[in-house]
Structure 1
């Protein structure tokens, strides 16, 4: 009798249990299928209409001619602003204010607005040591660009900074830079700050 009762209790307990979970074959929702179809159609359209005559690395739709610029040939214009962005902006900043106590400003600088030969020499040969700009003393190092930039490129970037951020100095020609290059050709290192450059940039 006891065995019958235990058997019935066990059966009742099993009857109260839920079936083990299992995965049904639920269909993918229609809105998901619609989104996938739209994305596939858009991808096909993009591939079909994309220009195939450009180098793959030019994904922003510029051409090789755009990247090369118009600096070919005699008398071609060099983009001083582009040179400034690639060579100078890290130290002197896009607003020409430099970094206080570290890199001097170009905006309102007596060196930038001063003698064209002197500022060309600074860019050509670089400066180390104490340099006074707008009454503040900087003791860092500016690299020389004589081996990195042509006379035309140095003239272009100097002309650019001499008319930016309130500066109003005259343009500098490639010939003037070439003359400064020749005058300093024998230098073995950079200018030693104010002393070597003859005081402030007037």
Structure 2
């Protein structure tokens, strides 16, 4: 059993010790709590009363057609340059030079500057197999755009291509494309390159 002196020493030692640390709880400031509640209430009110089917009052006021690229110029005519950017630039490049050995150039191409009905038919029905362009042979595939582009769009993009990168061929009209579409309507597969197309001007 401890003696009185030992008990006094133990009590003195305990008195010198600090209390064990513990985590305090600091309440959220009332100003912050009120602000959070107010923001949540405002968000609920905004969602409940916002006209979700009406055009937004804020923003740049672009329509869905603007964002999708309608291809229409200011006067309502089809913008051939816009159609080219949307449909052709990935393969034939913005310079019209294509990719050597992969996609043929449009600049100075005998097909682009050849017979108007033939170049319209190429865009409408596409090409597979060996095709010679400016003395170089390409063996790839060009998709058919008959189901993707209207006659006006095909005419516009061909007119654009035939007037760029040094090309100076006449414009392609919508009537030319319409006739080419009717003449090739029975085709179920793309042109088989040089073998099917013959000479560019033929």
Cα distance in 2 for residues equivalent to 1:150 and 1:199: 26
Q: Please report the TM-score for the alignment, with normalisation by the length of structure 1.
A: 0.69
- On the 8 A contact 2:118/2:200 being kept in 1, the answer is no
Structure label with greater radius of gyration: 2
Matched residue, 1:140: 140
Matched residue, 1:43: none
Cα distance in 1 for residues equivalent to 2:71 and 2:178: 23
Deviations 1:77-135 (A, max 9, x none): 22212222222223223332333332222223222122212211111111000112233
Cα distance in 1 for residues equivalent to 2:10 and 2:151: 104
> Over the residues paired in the alignment, what is the CA RMSD in angstroms?
3.6
Cα distance in 2 for residues equivalent to 1:161 and 1:114: 12
Q: Please report the TM-score for the alignment, with normalisation by the length of structure 2.
A: 0.69
* 3-state SS, counterpart of residue 123 of structure 1: helix
Matched residue, 1:180: 180
- On the 8 A contact 1:101/1:138 being kept in 2, the answer is yes
Matched residue, 2:6: 2
* 3-state SS, counterpart of residue 62 of structure 2: coil
Deviations 1:40-99 (A, max 9, x none): xxxxxxxxxxxx99634x95312478676769xxx9622212222222223223332333
Cα distance in 2 for residues equivalent to 1:69 and 1:54: 25
Cα distance in 2 for residues equivalent to 1:103 and 1:8: 94
Instruction: Give the 3 Å change call, closer, same or farther, for CA 6–100 of structure 1 in structure 2.
Output: farther
- List alignment gaps of at least 5 residues for structure 2: 37-51
Matched residue, 2:22: 20
Residues paired across the two proteins, number: 177
